[in-house]
Structure formats: C-alpha cells, structure tokens
Amino acid sequence: MTSKTHRLDRFISQKSQFSMSDTRLLIAQKRIKLNGELASSIQQKVDYFTHVELDGVSLQKNQPLYIMLNKPKGYVSATSDPNHETVLDLIDHPRKHELHIAGRLDFNTTGLMLLTNDGTWSRRICLPESKLVKTYEVKVDKPLTQEYVQQFNKGIYFHYEKITTQPAHLEICTEFTAKLSIVEGKYHQVKRMFGFFDNEVLELHRSAVGHITLHNLPEGHYRLLTEQEFTL
Ligand code: URA
C-alpha cells in the first residue's frame, strides 16, 4: 500500500546520505522543496505522492495511477497467483507493478475492477463508511420474490463475522435476474446474501462502483480513469 506518511526528516535520512538531524540545516539552507515549495519544518508530512527535491534533484516523484478493467471469468483478483492468470496479466502498462486492487471479485465474477497505486483512494473505495454503492447484475438459480427485496433491505446476518449487512437495494428484473446495490464488500457478500434463501448465484457481474461505470469497455480491456471518475 502507498498511503503511509513519513516525517520529512525521516524521509530525508532514508532517501539521501543525510541524517535526520541534518534535515533542519538543509531546510534552513533552503535546499529541500516539497511539491515545488521550500520545506519549512522537519515535521512536514511526506506521502507517496509528495514530490521531494533536494538540491534540485528529485528524491521521489510518484504519479497516482487509477485504472478500470472489465474482468472476464477465470482470472484471479490478485497481483500474482501460482496457478491461474491474474487480472494484472490483462494490463499492459509500464507502471503496472505499482498497482493493487481496490475491491476484489471472485474468480468467476465479471465486470468492473479498479486498480490503483493510491492506498488512500482504494481504502475509501472499500470502506463501508464511505457508503459507496457497488452495483451488481445477478443471475440466480431459483425464482426471485419480493421477500428478497424486503430481507436485503433489512439486512442479512453473517454468522462468521457476526454482523448484519447494511441495507441493500434489490431491483428484480426478470424471474431469475436482478440488480443489487450494496455499500460493503464482505467476503462472497452477494453469494452469501442469496445463500440466505438457498438460491445459488449462477452469474455475477459488477457494473458500477459509485459513479464509475464500465460503459462500453469490452471484456478483458482496461483504461485509465478520467479525473472526474477518480474524484470521489
Ligand atoms: N460478492 C460475491 O459474492 N462475489 C463477488 O465477486 C463480489 C461480490
């Protein structure tokens, strides 16, 4: 993850030949810049995206990267796997080694997958407190009824975590298909919610996360998010 922050003096001691205690003098000599501005205190915070210059030489210059992928079935949501192809194998970007996944999908789930090098952003995507709606298209084995709508809205108790799921919105489209909107991402959440009714999920596709939607991105393809998309 890339959301860690360091104090400026610690960062300087890790990235240059100077020590933590040298940093105060370097600041007084106006030799350190943070994001183009002269540093003013050893206590200033440096995160993964702070551009740090010492004597005009960059010690760190990382650009945030936000990618959406339309995941096909049969890919593991991981950055490496000994047995299967991973979603990272579908990405051909010079900085793909920096990426991590913001919200996993199961092996046979398809659809919108977000990848980034920005740990603060991915945490906000995944935290239930952010209330970011994840929309899924679901095909199930047994007919759907209004009882599902009411129960999902009330919440389903998950014994393992000892939690009740947050209110979820189910829109029944046909007898066997529906759109489900949830704000969390517990392990196998959608399958376990339908499992409450002993109804197997046969197909699962994530179409949106908040205001970010797949639109017409073909399966197996990826693209960079626009600024409007990655602004939460
Ligand atoms: N819920 C599931 O059960 N599986 C997924 O892949 C995503 C949400």
pLDDT in tens, 166-210: 999 999 999 999 999 999 999 999 999 999 999 999 999 999 999
Note whether 69 and 162 are same-domain residues: no
Q: Is residue 148 part of a domain?
A: yes
Kindly state whether residues 118 and 140 are assigned to the same domain.
no
Name the active-site residue from 92, 106, 118, 198. 106
Please report whether residue 220 resides in a domain. yes
How far apart are alpha carbons 96 and 87 in whole angstroms? Answer: 11
Which are the contacts of 186, defined by CB distance < 8 A and separation ≥ 6? 158, 161, 163, 165, 192
C-alpha angle 225-227-231 in degrees, rounded to nearest 5: 100
Q: State in Å: Cα 104 to ligand 1 middle.
A: 8
Residues 142 and 197 in one domain: yes
**What pLDDT is attached to residue 4?**
84
Say if residue 141 is in the same domain as residue 31: no
21 and 79 share one domain: no
Place of tokens 């005009």: 56
Tell me the two tokens of residue 43. 């206590």
Say yes or no: 141 and 203 in one domain: yes
- 73 and 120, same domain (yes or no): yes
Task: Pick left, alpha or beta for residue 145 (phi over 0 → left; psi -120 to 50 → alpha; otherwise beta).
Answer: beta
Contact 190 CB / ligand 1 (< 6 Å) = yes
Q: Are 196 and 145 part of one and the same domain?
A: yes
Residue 1 lies in a domain: no
Q: Is the pLDDT of residue 2 over 70?
A: no
Q: Under a CB-based contact definition with an 8 Å cutoff, are residues 205 and 135 in contact?
A: no
In this structure, the answer to whether residues 138 and 203 fall within a common structural domain is yes
pLDDT in tens, 125-163: 999 899 999 999 999 999 999 999 999 999 999 999 999
The reported pLDDT for the residue numbered 1 is 56
Q: For 103, left (φ over 0), alpha (ψ -120 to 50), or beta?
A: left
CATH number at residue 197: 3.30.70.1560
pLDDT at 33: 98
Least confidently predicted of 1-5, 59-63, 93-97, 107-111:
1-5
Domain end call among 60, 79, 104: 60
Establish if 12 belongs to a structural domain: yes
The pLDDT assigned to 72 comes to: 98
Contact predicate 139/109, CB 8 Å: no
Residue nearest to atom 4 of ligand 1 (CA): 188
Distant-in-sequence contacts of 18-25, Cβ < 8 A, 24+ apart: 18/54
The string of pLDDT tens digits covering residues 20-75 is: 999 999 999 999 999 999 999 999 999 999 999 999 999 999 999 999 999 999 99
Half-sphere exposure of residue 170, counting CA atoms within 13 Å on the CB side?
25
Dist. CA 57 → ligand 1 center (Å) = 46
- The secondary structure of the chain as a DSSP string is -----EEHHHHHHHHSS--TTHHHHHHHTT-EEETTEE---TT-EE-TT--EEETTEEEE-----EEEEEEPTT-BSSS--SSS-BGGGG---TTGGG-EESS---TT-EEEEEEES-HHHHHHHH-GGG---EEEEEEESS---HHHHHHHHH--EETTTTEEPPP-EEEE-SSSEEEEEES---TTHHHHHHHTTT--EEEEEEEEETTEE-TTPPTT-EEEPPHHHH--
Q: Which residue range forms the structural domain that includes residue 69?
A: 64-131+214-232
Say how many domains are in the chain.
3
Q: How far is the CA of 3 from the centre of ligand 1 (A)?
A: 26
Residues 52 and 69 occupy one common structural domain: no
**Mean pLDDT to the nearest integer, 75-79:** 95
Question: What confidence score (pLDDT) does residue 179 get?
Answer: 98
pLDDT of residue 54: 98
* CA–CA distance, 98 with 55 (Å, rounded to integer): 27
pLDDT over 70 (residue 118): yes
The answer as to whether 79 is a domain residue is: yes
- Asked if residue 222 and residue 122 are part of one domain, the reply reads yes
Whether residue 46 lies inside any domain: the answer is yes
Q: What residue owns the CA closest to ligand 1's atom 2?
A: 188
Considering the domain architecture, whether residues 125 and 78 belong to the same structural domain is answered as: yes
- For the domain that residue 95 is a member of, what is the CATH number? 3.30.70.580
- CATH, residue 27: 3.10.290.10
Token readout for 94 is 């010079």
Structural domain contains residue 180: yes
Whether 218 is in a domain gets the answer yes
Residue 106 annotated among the catalytic residues of the structure: yes
